[in-house]
Amino acid sequence: MNRVALVTGGTRGIGRAICEQLKADGFNVVANYAGNDAAAQQFSEETGIPVYKFDVGDHAATQAGCDQIAAEIGPIEVVVNNAGITRDGTLHKMSFDDWNDVMRINLGGCFNTSKACFPGMRERGWGRIVNIGSINGQAGQYGQVNYAAAKSGIHGFTKALAQEGARAGVTVNAIAPGYIDTDMVAAVPQGVLDKIIAGIPVGRLGQAEEIARGVSFLCSEDAGFVTGSTMSINGGQHMY
């Protein structure tokens, strides 16, 4: 039986590309989503990938959702924590809800999903967790103190959890995408986007499939000696 891989926020953008890549790799892929039932159903019909609706920022709902997937599909052996939102604004205009929602979903979602799946991975002696961070969690970004903090937290979370899983055959890594050609980036005003692209050495936005190929490697048997690592896929925009 193929290993079960759960991708949170998996029905569109980077998440969809990851789902399709992991399915091509032979994983039994399951996509989580939070809100748009019609879009999720269309995704499932187009890809043949089952979808499960729960809010990754809700601890109890995430545990229940992962338990349901394990019962109906099989034990979850790969987790890709991709779900995330933005609530941009400078600090003096940012509400507590703007801060809290981003932290709850982007960073809290990593904890909730990993908490639900990590113990079983350790018991079985094999697992892969890949957390989707961001270039803005590495370098910061004006108007994104919430998003940058949450994504930076993901990178620290990854390094700490990697140490807990290493001897049990569970690797934990992160990918920090740069600016990728998705709906989220398409919402950026064109003038701002032009300036962003001008600052990317390769001279273009990334493609979701390029992030998916990085995830593919980190989830493979070949990546068993890679853990606690952050793979930056950003066209050279931020190097360190």
Q: How far apart are CA 116 and CA 210, in angstroms?
A: 28
Give all domains of the chain, ordered by start, each with its CATH number: 4-229 (3.40.50.720)
- DSSP one-letter code for 96: H
Looking at 142, 147, 179, 240, which residue is catalytic?
147
- Report the mean per-residue pLDDT for the chain: 96
Q: What is the pLDDT of residues 114-153, one digit of tens each?
A: 999 999 999 999 999 999 999 999 999 999 999 999 999 9
Tell me the average pLDDT across 80-103.
Answer: 96
| pLDDT given for residue 189 in this prediction | 87
Question: In the prediction, which pLDDT does 61 show?
Answer: 98
Residue 1 has pLDDT above 70, yes or no: no
Question: How many of the other CB atoms lie within 10 Å of CB of 190?
Answer: 8
- Is pLDDT at 232 greater than 80 in this prediction? yes
Instruction: Confirm if 174 and 231 have CB atoms less than 8 A apart.
Output: yes
pLDDT at 122: 98
Decide if 52 is catalytic.
no
Helices (H), ranges, 129-206: 135-139, 145-165, 183-186, 190-198
